[in-house]
């Protein structure tokens, strides 16, 4: 591979997975392997970095299937996994919060509130598989969280406000993905992405590069905001009105994932 500084343009693409790169309903990824091969052969340098609520186990497994080898941003920014090779291979994430710290916080909530949360770590693999539509192995990987707690709420409107109140002045926050709530440290996809960008710059990534971001849900907002170009992938199953109104320059795909990802890629490639 040519050194990155000899390329005509470098583009770092941060992309959400569920509902963005993968179908919201059946997790299919269409022609992605070929699309990534085409990007590798392009005159420009593209670095595709999954940025997702999924766990390290899930994402590394997925990367192997489609031909990516990192880096990855997992658990909604909770942890950055270095690449196997290349610029990001020696990156080490020093500031991740552990799941044990988050569980301790959860268990300190008043019992009425604590009881209204049903967390992945309290569910069986079968129950997670039923809720997510994942197979048993993927559901077990989804349960294996090290830097966040995923939960569902019985009556989300009233309790959620109380939980957010409890989290004020702490180093934790709640973010909502397509289907579930995530309790994480005060990091998000954007903060993790910025860490990687800064690392890349320090390690020789030339300053003439672009950042693109693709997402479909409220937990992608901060990531989409920091990008030079962004795309919102159509997903009728999640509320996208806020995203669309806060990101007036984002491309909004006509198709859903996975086709909408490719459609958006082509539009961003052709835009100046």
Interface with Mg ion (CB under 5 A): 16, 18-19, 178, 216-217
**Least CB distance from residue 139 to Mg ion, whole Å?**
17
Q: Which is nearer to Mg ion, 176 or 203 (CB)?
A: 176
Q: Which is nearer to Mg ion, 7 or 56 (CB)?
A: 56
**Least CB distance from residue 45 to Mg ion, whole Å?**
26
**Least CB distance from residue 3 to Mg ion, whole Å?**
34
Q: Which is nearer to Mg ion, 209 or 214 (CB)?
A: 214
Q: Which is nearer to Mg ion, 82 or 178 (CB)?
A: 178
**Least CB distance from residue 177 to Mg ion, whole Å?**
6
Contact 189, 178 (CB under 8 A): no
Is residue 190 classed exposed, middle or buried when 0-12, 13-18 and 19+ CB atoms within 10 A define those classes?
A: buried
Q: Which is nearer to Mg ion, 63 or 260 (CB)?
A: 260
DSSP string, the chain: ---GGGSS-EEEEEE--BTTTB-TTT---TTHHHHHHHHHHSSSEEEEEEB-SS-HHHHHHHHHHHT----EEEGGGTEEEPPSSSTTTT-----PPPHHHHHHHHHTS-HHHHHTEEEGGGS-HHHHHHHH---HHHHHHHH--SSEEEEEESSHHHHHHHHHHHHTTSSEEEEE-SS-EEEEES--HHHHHHHHHHHHHHTT--S-EEEEEEE-SGGGHHHHHHSSEEEEEE-TTS--HHHHHH-TTSEEEEEETTHHHHHHHHHHHH--
Q: Which is nearer to Mg ion, 217 or 265 (CB)?
A: 217
**Least CB distance from residue 233 to Mg ion, whole Å?**
8
**Residue of 204, 188, 208 whose CA lies nearest to 148:** 188
Task: Using CB positions, name the residue nearest to Mg ion.
Answer: 19
Q: Which is nearer to Mg ion, 18 or 263 (CB)?
A: 18
Phi-psi map region of 80: left, alpha, beta (phi>0 left; psi -120 to 50 alpha) = beta
Q: Which is nearer to Mg ion, 106 or 217 (CB)?
A: 217
**Least CB distance from residue 1 to Mg ion, whole Å?**
30
**Least CB distance from residue 219 to Mg ion, whole Å?**
7
User: CA 233, 236, 242, 244: dihedral to nearest 10 degrees?
Assistant: 40
**Least CB distance from residue 154 to Mg ion, whole Å?**
23
């Amino acid at each position: 591979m040519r050194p990155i500084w000899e390329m005509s343009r470098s583009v770092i693409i941060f992309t959400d997975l569920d509902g963005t790169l993968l179908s919201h309903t059946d997790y299919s990824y269409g022609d992605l392997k070929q699309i990534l091969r085409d990007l590798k052969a392009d005159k420009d340098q593209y670095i595709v970095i999954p940025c997702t609520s999924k766990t390290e186990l899930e994402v590394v497994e997925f990367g192997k299937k489609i031909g990516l080898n990192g880096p990855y941003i997992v658990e909604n920014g909770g942890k950055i996994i270095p690449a196997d090779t290349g610029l990001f291979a020696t990156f080490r994430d020093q500031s991740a919060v552990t799941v044990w710290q988050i569980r301790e916080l959860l268990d300190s909530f008043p019992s009425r509130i604590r009881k209204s949360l049903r967390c992945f770590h309290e569910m069986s693999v079968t129950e997670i598989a039923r809720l997510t539509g994942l197979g048993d192995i993927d559901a077990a990987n989804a349960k294996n969280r090290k830097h966040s707690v995923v939960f569902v709420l019985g009556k989300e409107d009233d309790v959620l406000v109380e939980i957010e109140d409890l989290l004020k002045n702490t180093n934790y926050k709640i973010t909502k993905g397509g289907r579930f709530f995530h309790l994480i440290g005060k990091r998000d996809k954007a903060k993790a992405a910025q860490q990687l960008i800064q690392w890349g710059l320090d390690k020789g990534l030339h300053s003439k590069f672009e950042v693109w971001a693709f997402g479909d849900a409220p937990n992608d907002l901060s990531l989409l905001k920091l990008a030079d170009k962004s795309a919102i992938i159509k997903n009728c199953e999640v509320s996208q009105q806020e995203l669309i109104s806060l990101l007036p320059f984002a491309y909004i795909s006509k198709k859903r994932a996975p086709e909408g990802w490719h459609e958006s890629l082509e539009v961003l490639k052709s835009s100046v």
